[in-house]
Every structure is written in structure tokens, then in C-alpha cells.
Chain A
């Protein structure tokens, strides 16, 4: 069964269909959560940001131009909402309950993979802002070159170049 394209669903929402909006929410919530999580680093906060982003989108859906990529608009809202959330949030101290697990082997494995992830995150944090944004959107936001270009207002070739350079720099940082 063919899925309706985003633009058709947005048009239906603009014509009064709440059900069409539910389909868009189901389609994008997981990807958006992954994207927002990379920014806010906190699961409950990421969930809240994703909810707020969907509500903000619904309030402004009549202004969405269905000739343009809908996902770029959605990711822009999510990014802005995440950044506002970070600014408003005070740093929270949380206890990692997995660190007090009795199963030492499982704990070591968990810590190892956490270290790897931490390593990649630290490496990405060292990149210049223009490379960091592109690589985050590509790998964690799961956006295409066109979508990244629209979100960041960059030509597609620039996105490609940034991504290639970001990958090269990451390799240099991680394998030195």
C-alpha cells in the first residue's frame, strides 16, 4: 500500500483533517526524537521537546508551503525548540542506575559501548560548527542532502563538501 507523501498529508491537515496530522506524528516522532536527543542529551527532555515541536507545528501548519520539503520545516522547529529548552533548563544531576548493577560483565559491556559513544560525541563536539551541524543532521537526524540544505540554507554541493570534510576530520580525531 503506497504511503501518502508528506505534502499531501499537510494539505489535508490544512483542509481540516486531524487524522492526517496523526499520521505525520507517527511517521516522524522516532526520527525527531533521535535528532532532538543529540541536542538535549536527556530522554525525558527530548520527549518533551518533540511534543512541543509537534504542537508548534500544528499551530502554524496553515503557513506551511506544500511545495517545499515538509521535513525540513519540521526539523527547523524541533531544533529551535530544543535550543530554547536547553537555554531554559538548569543542568540536572542524574544517577546512572546501570552503574550500580550487580551483573559486572553486563556492566562492563555497557560501559564500553557507552565509552565508544562518548568518544564519538566528544569527537563531533571538536568539529567546527559548520561540519558539526551537517554531520549531526545527516547521521542522527537521518536527513537527505536536500533536506539538510533546506534546513541550514546551504546549497547541496556545500552540504556534500562539509559532510566529506567532517567525516575526514572525525577519522583524524578518532584514530590519532
Chain B
């Protein structure tokens, strides 16, 4: 029986396939994280603008006052601040931040695998060039 060596053609196809798969996964992961970050940022900005409209930031002027005035009025000021917070926007921004954290947690193993594949692909490219 003839001796064959198909290692080179097989591995060339494997490398091509893996390069395509890895790049696709990184692209999808990056776009997903970017979209989630943008959504969280938008809702945070929206919350900040609502606070500006209501002049809620003016409550922080208390911090410029004397110690005695601060200790007397800080609880009331804090209560008003929390009442005026746009809760729905902050809730959504918070939920999106949690989603980003969970995404990183659940993809931890996959990211390790992808990182290893990219290192091996880079080593092979270096060997070839």
C-alpha cells in the first residue's frame, strides 16, 4: 500500500477554517459588548439629563456648606436626591451592565479557547513567513 502524507493539505484547510471561525466569533462578541455598552451609556446619559432638567445636581451645593449644616440636612437632601432619580433609566442601565458582566462570565472558557487558537494561528503564520 502506498504511503501518503496528507498532513499539509489537511492542516492548511484546518487553519483556514479556524481563522475564519475565530475571527467571526471575535467579531460577534465585540459587536455584542459594544452594543450593550452603548445602550448602558445612553440610558446613563438620559438619567443624567433628567437630573439636569430637574436641577437635582443643585442638591450637591450642600457639600459647600459648613459641617454642622451638612450633618443636619444631609439625610433630607439624600432622600430628595433618590426620589428624583430617574429609576427606570438607571434600572435599564444597571440591567445592561449585569448582562455585560454575565456575558464575560459565561464566555470565559470560550475566550480562553479562542485566545489559545489565535496564539497557535499566529505561531503558524510566523513559521510560514
Interfacial residues, chain A to chain B (CB-CB below 8 A): 14-19, 21-22, 25-26, 29-30, 33-34, 37, 43, 47, 50-51, 54-55, 58-59
Contacts and interface: CB of A to CB of B under 8 A. Distances in A.
A49 B3 CA distance: 16
A18 B18 contact: yes
Interface size class of B (residues with CB under 8 A): 20 to 34
A22 B6 contact: no
7 contacts: A16-B117, A19-B120, A21-B11, A25-B10, A33-B2, A33-B6, A58-B14
A24 B50 CA distance: 62
A50 B2 CA distance: 14
Contacts of A55: 10, 13-14, 17
A18 B112 CA distance: 14
A25 B11 contact: yes
B33 interface: no
Given A16-B116, A17-B116, A51 B1 contact: no
A30 B117 contact: no
B5 interface: yes
B114 interface: yes
B9 to A, nearest CB: 6
Contacts of A19: 120
Nearest to A62: B113
Contacts of A47: 4, 6
Interface in B15-51: 15, 17-18
A50 B3 CA distance: 13
B7 A25 contact: yes
A73 B68 CA distance: 78
